[in-house]
Amino acid sequence: MKAQTRWDVVCTVEDLVPDSGIAVWTQAGPVAVFYLPHRLPALFAVCHTDPFSGSNVLARGITGDVDGEPVVASPLYKQHFSLRTGVCLEDDSVQLTTYPVLLDGDQILLELPVSAGRKESQAA
């Protein structure tokens, strides 16, 4: 059975920084949203927490491309994470949670799990 999800507005287009990330707070915890305007898709979202340090820093990482793969390099230990899959390029046993992203007008939405204690009627 697929977990229940919903689309939540997390920021607007004006909040985004080209070729960089911003941190947003969600019911699933901190998420890093990246805007890479010269790629399709141009929006990516991954967990903001660096799994190697436990620090919420990935939105401040350096974005780039490794063999055609859009990545963010952690600002602490410099591991590269795929923005599409969340997999660490230096250690494929480590993977970030990724989130589907949607642009709706000027709003950025993420598909997030509905928390167990929260009813869908409250979520609207």
Question: Domains (ranges, CATH) in the chain?
Answer: 5-112 (2.102.10.10)
Q: What confidence tier does 119 reach under pLDDT thresholds 50, 70, 90?
A: very low
pTM for the full predicted model: 0.89
Measured CA distances, 113 to 14, 26, 48, 122, 124 (Å): 25, 10, 16, 14, 14
* Percent over 70 (pLDDT), the chain: 92
